[in-house]
Amino acid sequence: MQIRRGDFADPHIIELLRVHFQTMRSTGPAESCHVMDLTELQRPDLEFWAAWDGDALLGVGGILQFSSTSGLEGEIKSMHTTASARGRGIGAAMLLHLIDRAKQQGLGRLSLETGAGEFFHPAHALYRRHGFVLCPPFGSYRDDPNSVFMTKSLGVAG
């Protein structure tokens, strides 16, 4: 497996992000769904990555940088593993890559918002295994019974 910069013009990535968007939108009310579409992901403060096995796309994930009162932080966005690659450690590999990239960027904290329902329990477990803990809403997020917020201090002065 190789993780490299994601190309938003690649048809494999476009299709996986379409599936990701539709899947996330199907898990709860629209006002509780904070998934970004292909256009929204293409912003200068978001670093996007894709995991490949040869020509087969396995998964994607990104880091959106933002400033807080504590300094420069990051938010994990659009973490998604293809259905055929689930259970092979792709999500963990991508998460470790994103954590490493966040540290390289000097981010002091990496946070995320994900769904609260049973569908998201494997994601919650993955994040907990890698040191993420529950936290209050951050940035522009607000309390929402359909959302779970998690964070990990990176020990980097931001």
CATH number at residue 19: 3.40.630.30
What does the pLDDT read at residue 156? 61
50 domain-assigned: yes
Q: Which domain range does residue 59 map to? A: 2-153
What does the pLDDT read at residue 158? 43
Are residues 135 and 92 in contact, defined by beta-carbon separation less than 8 angstroms?
Answer: no
What does the pLDDT read at residue 154? 96
Structure tokens at 128: 């907990």
Q: What is the pTM for the complete model shown?
A: 0.92
What does the pLDDT read at residue 3? 98
Q: What percent of the chain has pLDDT over 90?
A: 82
76 domain-assigned: yes
Number of domains in the chain: 1
Which H helix or E strand runs over 91? helix 90-104
158 domain-assigned: no
Q: Which regions of the chain are under pLDDT 50?
A: 158
- Enumerate helices (H) and strands (E) in the chain, giving the number of each: 4, 7
